[in-house]
Chain A
Amino acid sequence: MLDGLVQLGNAFTVFANFTTLFNVLWATLAGILIGSLPGLTATMGVALLTTLTYQLPPAQAILILISVYVGAIYGGSRSAILLNIPGTPANAATTLDGFPLARSGRGGEAMGIATTASMMGTFIGVLFLAAIAPLLAEFALRFGSYEYFWLAIFGIVIAGQMTSFDDALKGWISGFLGLMVAMVGQESIHAYDRLTFGIPDLAGGLALIPALVGAFGFAEVLTVMKNRAPELAARSVGRVLPKLSELWRYKRTIGRSGVIGTVVGIIPGVGEDIGAWISYAAARRGSKEKEQFGKGSIEGLIAAETGNNTAIPGALIPALTLAVPGSAPAAVLLAAMLIHGIRPGPLIMIEAPDFVFQVVWMVMLATVAIGVIGLLLTRPLLQVLRVPRERLMPVIFVLCVIGPYAITQRLFDVYVMIGFGILGFVLREMKYPMAPLVLGIILGEILDKNLRRALVLADGDLTPFFTRPISMVLWIATLLVILLALPPVRRGVSRLLRWETAA
């Protein structure tokens, strides 16, 4: 315990300098701008900045990326409140109460509350990150190939189920397609080129960052240009600084949303958006003023904004300790860490314990920055929402072209970006979630290596997959998620529950 505190203190010294302060401020501001512009998501922001910062020292580069991530998830609340359009998918629940508040002339108050709720959410999440990550890393040392195989399958199944809005089948299709994407290229055991069809550029596989910039950047540009232009709802914003007494009144909501957000963040591939929705639903169920929800409830706004920001440190927990990202932006961060020579996984507390605590400080610094920027620059930041999309989107697309090229200097990666952009757009139009696809691309290699290794270890015997204790927990959980997603089972369970409560 004391060791941990000393390491936490040591980690801070890495960041006690002017460069850090400068980088946190500009990156968080960039994140807020990216988040507040509908069509630019946190995932895309982190992916683009990864390509632009890879010349920097690792600690500073990851600091910038985390600042963009935290800034973007918070920044999305701006457009959710003022335009009724979530700036990132994570802020969808924010629109429910944020927009009615803005329409009744309390836009400033709503933004102030969103800022403080986001800050508190991230603080709660950071505490969990510092406490859980070392424990989980130690626990993960017990994972063998069998467990990693099940972890990959469980990750895809639960992410597919939770991110797909009542159509788990589409979530699973998206996830397994992601795993298949990871099969392209040279495999790791015999160095055989799989599914490359003689194209030399495919031997290295389809890289995550070009795929993400396509699926979250180009696909967004197409979606934004296809839809009609949004209109700004509130011109006057009113008071911005929130009353402390008001926040104190909702301390239970903040605490509850903090825990829910962290747990949802830890679940592979299930990120900030689901964190916000679940904590919003929980807040409504536990509220004394249920009827206010959806009409401009302060409590609802707090629940949504705490829930999504807490999921950020939550999503970093499995990313750091299991190399399994908790959300789509965390997947990009994971890729960025690998680019910078940091190897997340169960060994991280042995190989680079400092790094975990440095990440804690990075999130803390970014959180302070959103508070400072969010409360001081409310009015200037509103101007950004007035930039016409016709002028903004071409610039975004230019960045989408530069980003993938920057790392490898191959035009092939630009074509990968285009391909995934079109695929992502079509899939999204047909209501397929993107997060499982991203998770699949990351988990593909883990699945491939560990399934084959486990089969070699057991000499083709499947029993250890089902009888080892951690494996058992994982396959039973996977089966439950699948069963509960089937409509007849779900109907049966709810009938049973109703019958129990009636009896």
Chain B
Amino acid sequence: MQDRQLIRADLVTGLILVAFGLAVLMEAVGMPRFETRRINPWTVPGLVPGFLAIIIAVLGAALALRSTFSAALRAPAPALDPQEAADVRAARRRLLACLGICLAYAAGLVGRVPFWLATGFFVFAFVAAFEWQRDDPPPARARKLAIAAVLAAAAAILVPLLFERLFLVRLP
């Protein structure tokens, strides 16, 4: 992340932390005091969360103030050269693809379809997506897809075998 971007992100994070701290503080104040149970007032459940919430809000405020007074925030952003801009876009594309495939697997497929099937699908999709090149000739593309399929099949067979038989671990 570039300096200027980072300082801007710090400002936003600082404000989020202040809001978060205040929200938790309100929640902590609202936690029961168990007066009817006659407990020692210094043991109320909200004490430590409230204490931490205040510290987090203060640290967040410090972060926000620091970035507000930082000179870099006012300076104009240096323009990226076309190569750099393309790299940033490519990195973002890879990140989103990775996040999307992983989430579809872990939050979507796992627990809903048999684990070996979900894993096979996931490995195939991951390998195929990241080895895909737009200008690949058809034979190279077919080879890559074949490799992805072989890896997916190996993962689908070996993972359950290894973990359930050898490590005696139950799979989702």
Residues of A that sit less than 8 Å from B by CB: 51-53, 55, 169-170, 172-173, 176-177, 179-180, 183, 187, 189-190, 192, 194-195, 218, 221-222, 225-228, 388, 390-391, 393-395, 397-398, 400-402, 405-406, 409, 411, 414-415, 417-418, 422, 429-431, 447-448, 451-452, 455-456, 459-460
A194-B167 in contact (CB<8A): no
Report yes or no: B106 in contact with A183, Cβ–Cβ below 8 A: no
A-B contact count (CB 8 A): 157
Chain B residues with Cβ below 8 Å from A52 are 163, 167, 169
- Per the bound structure, the CA–CA distance linking A177 and B21 in Å amounts to 10
Chain A's closest residue to B66 (CB) is: A169
Q: Are B48 and A414 in contact (CB under 8 A)?
A: no
B102:A187 contact, CB within 8 angstroms = no
CB-contacts of B40-58 with A (<8 A) = 40, 42-43, 45-49, 51-53, 55-56
* Interface pair B107/A451, CB less than 8 Å apart: no
Bound complex: CA A228 to CA B88 (Å):
11
Q: Which of A169, A390, A417, A460 has the most CB of B within 10 A?
A: A390
> Are B151 and A391 interface neighbours, CB within 8 A?
yes
User: Closest Cβ of chain A: how far from B67's Cβ, in Å?
Assistant: 10
- Whether the Cβ atoms of B155 and A177 lie closer than 8 Å is no
Question: Given the complex, which residues of A lie within 8 Å of B122, measured CB to CB?
Answer: 394, 397-398
The answer to whether A180 and B42 touch across the interface, beta carbons within 8 angstroms, is: no
Judge whether B91 is part of the interface by a CB distance below 8 angstroms.
yes
Cα-based distance from A495 to B149 in the complex (angstroms): 65
**7 interchain residue pairs of minimum CB distance:** A455-B42, A394-B126, A390-B130, A225-B98, A226-B95, A192-B45, A406-B169
| B-side contacts of A394, CB under 8 Å | 122-123, 126-127, 151, 155
User: For the complex, would chain A's binding face be called helix, strand, loop or mixed by DSSP majority?
Assistant: helix
Whether A430 lies near B49 (C-beta < 8 A) is no
Contact pick for A225, options B27, B40, B95, CB 8 Å: B95
Task: Bits for B105-119, please: 1 = Cβ < 8 Å to A, else 0.
Answer: 111001100000001
Instruction: Tell me whether B123 and A398 are in contact (CB under 8 A).
Output: yes
Q: Which of A176, A180, A190, A222 contacts B43 (CB 8 A)?
A: A190
Q: Tell whether, in the assembled complex, residue A226 and residue B98 are in contact, meaning their CB atoms are under 8 Å apart.
A: yes
Q: Are B111 and A411 in contact (CB-based, < 8 A)?
A: yes
Q: In the complex the two chains form, is B32's CB within 8 Å of A430's CB? A: no
Is B49 a contact of A194 with CB atoms below 8 Å?
yes
| A173-B63, A391-B151, A409-B170 known; A225-B110 Cβ under 8 A | no
Q: For the complex, what is the distance from the CA of A414 to the CA of B27, rounded to whole Å?
A: 27
Q: Are B27 and A195 in contact (CB-based, < 8 A)?
A: yes
Chain B contacts for A415, CB-based, 8 A: 107
B139 interface contact, C-beta 8 A = no
Chain B's nearest CB lies how many Å from the CB of A405? 5
Number of interface residues of B (CB under 8 A): 64
Query: Any chain A CB within 8 A of the CB of B86?
Result: no
Separation of A409 and B168 alpha carbons in the complex (Å): 13
Residues on the A chain within 8 Å of B34, using CB: 190
Residue of B nearest to A410 (CB): B172
Q: How far is the CB of A155 from chain B (nearest CB, A)?
A: 14
Residue pairs across A and B with Cβ atoms less than 8 A apart, 21 shown, are A169-B62, A176-B55, A176-B56, A190-B37, A192-B32, A194-B45, A195-B24, A390-B126, A390-B131, A391-B147, A391-B151, A398-B123, A405-B170, A405-B171, A409-B170, A411-B110, A414-B172, A430-B9, A447-B48, A452-B42, A452-B43
* Given A391-B127, A394-B123, A451-B47, CB of A411 within 8 Å of CB of B167: no
Nearest-Cβ distance from residue A415 to partner chain B, whole angstroms: 7
Task: Please give the distance in Å from A93's CB to the nearest CB on chain B.
Answer: 23
A68 to chain B: closest CB distance in Å?
Answer: 14
- CB distance B98 to A183 under 8 Å? no
Known A-B contacts A414-B106, A430-B6, A431-B6; the reply to A402 vs B45 at CB < 8 A is: no
Give complex CA distance A332, B39 in Å: 35
Residue B99 is within 8 A (CB to CB) of chain A in the complex: yes
Q: Measured between alpha carbons, how far is A27 from B55 in the docked complex, in Å?
A: 41
A395 x B155 contact (CB < 8 A): yes
Complex contact A451–B172 (CB within 8 A)? no
User: Among A55, A176, A411, A414, which residue has its beta carbon within 8 angstroms of that of B168?
Assistant: A55
B159 at the interface (CB under 8 A from A): yes
Q: Are B42 and A460 in contact (CB under 8 A)?
A: yes
Contact yes or no, A173 B59, CB < 8 A: yes
Q: Which one of B49, B56, B155, B172 contacts A195 once the chains associate, using CB atoms below 8 Å?
A: B49
A402, B27: Cβ atoms closer than 8 Å: no
A183 touches B131 (CB 8 A): no
Please pick, from B48, B59, B102, B130, the residue contacting A452 in the complex, using a CB distance under 8 A. Answer: B48
Q: How far is the CB of A428 from chain B (nearest CB, A)?
A: 10
Q: A180-B53, A414-B172 are in contact. Are A398 and B48 (CB under 8 A)?
A: no
Choose one: A55, A176, A183, A422; the contact of B167 (CB below 8 Å). Answer: A55
Contacts of B171 in A (CB 8 A): 402, 405
Q: Across the interface, which residues of A come within 8 angstroms of B62, CB to CB?
A: 169
Q: Which of A177, A187, A430 contacts B10 (CB 8 A)?
A: A430
The answer to the question of B31 belonging to the interface, with a C-beta cut-off of 8 Å to chain A, is: yes
The answer on a CB contact under 8 Å between B123 and A179 is: no
**Nearest CB to that of B170 among chain A residues?**
A409
Contact of B63 among A53, A55, A169, A189 (CB under 8 A): A169
